[in-house]
Structure formats: C-alpha cells, structure tokens
C-alpha cells in the first residue's frame, strides 16, 4: 500500500470517528482542517506543503500558485453566519481555498478567493472579528470568491 493510499485510509477512519464523536457529544472532534486540506489536494490536484509551513498549505505545481486552505463542516440546519478559521494576511499566499464538508466530512464544494479580494474583505471597517482576527463568514467568502469544484451528487 502506498503512503498516499495509507493516508486516505487513515482519513476515512478519522472521519468515521469524528462522526461518532459528534453524535455522542454534540461537539466537533477538530479534524476539519486536516480533512479539508486532503480533500482540496485530491479534487484540485494540488500538492500539500509540509506540516506547519508558514503562509500556505498547498501549491499548484503547474501554475506555482500557493493556497491557504480553510475548511468548514456544514451541518443540516446550521446557521448561515458560520465563520472560517483565521486567515493570516501577513504571510505570503496567492489565494485561499474554502472546502465545505458535509456531515460525513466529505467535500461538497470548493471555493477560491484571490489574495487581493481576501485582504480587501478583511480590511473593511466594521467587524472586529474580521479586522483583528482575520475571520470571515462563509457567505462573505462565497461572495468574494468563485466555485472551483463541486461534488457530482450535490448538483
């Protein structure tokens, strides 16, 4: 079994455990970011950076573009105002990818927003979460970005 196959097998197991944990406790297990990175790499054919790489999580080896990757698990009946994790605009990256996951931690949509659009949105006055912590709502990200991938079953 190749390393890539083994990683995907471990992620499948982690997804099942995270689902069971959420069902038992009502709380997330905290694997969304890791799953989102692998889902983006698999569907967009980008290469993940080494762990804890400053600035970006993946590179498109053809275009040399770099990406921060954010993930959000969207459960049925969830609030539309959900927020992404912090986007660090002080680091170098070309774009941000938002991977939306379903209740089973499978990717349903991937959106991409260019660096300039992200910085502009985070710099607008009015939101302390946006301005100080680099936090943005999923709905705002969708507005400034574009859909780059969608699961066949979602259409």
Which range has the worst mean pLDDT, 41-50, 51-60, 61-70? 51-60
Q: Which two tokens stand for residue 75?
A: 């459960």
Query: Are the C-beta atoms of 22 and 46 separated by less than 8 Å?
Result: no
Query: Are the C-beta atoms of 71 and 37 separated by less than 8 Å?
Result: yes
CATH class in words for 3-154: alpha beta
Rounded distance, CA 108 to CA 93, Å? 24
Rounded distance, CA 153 to CA 155, Å? 6
Taking the CA atoms of 110, 150, 142 and 18 in sequence, report the sign of the dihedral they define.
negative
Q: Which two tokens stand for residue 121?
A: 């949105």
Average pLDDT, the chain: 91
Share of residues in the chain with pLDDT > 70 (%):
94
Tens digit of each residue's pLDDT (9 = 90 or more) over 64-118:
999 999 999 998 888 767 889 899 999 999 999 999 999 999 999 999 999 999 9
Q: What is the pTM of this model?
A: 0.91
Taking the CA atoms of 60, 121, 88 and 43 in sequence, report the sign of the dihedral they define.
negative
Please give the pLDDT value at position 132. Answer: 64
Closest CA to 72 of 87, 58, 94, 54: 87
């Amino acid at each position: 079994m190749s390393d890539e196959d083994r990683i995907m097998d471990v992620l499948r197991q982690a997804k099942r455990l995270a689902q069971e944990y959420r069902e038992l406790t009502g709380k997330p297990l905290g694997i969304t970011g890791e799953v989102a990175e692998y889902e983006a790499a698999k569907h967009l054919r980008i290469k993940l950076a080494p762990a804890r790489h400053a600035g970006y999580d993946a590179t498109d080896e053809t275009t040399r573009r770099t990406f921060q990757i954010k993930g959000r698990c969207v459960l049925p009946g969830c609030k539309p105002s959900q927020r992404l994790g912090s986007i660090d605009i002080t680091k170098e990256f070309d774009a941000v990818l938002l991977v939306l996951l379903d209740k089973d931690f499978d990717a349903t949509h991937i959106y991409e927003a260019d660096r300039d659009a992200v910085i502009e949105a985070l710099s607008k006055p009015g939101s302390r979460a946006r301005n100080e912590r680099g936090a943005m709502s999923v709905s705002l990200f969708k507005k400034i970005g574009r859909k780059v991938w969608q699961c066949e079953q979602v259409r």
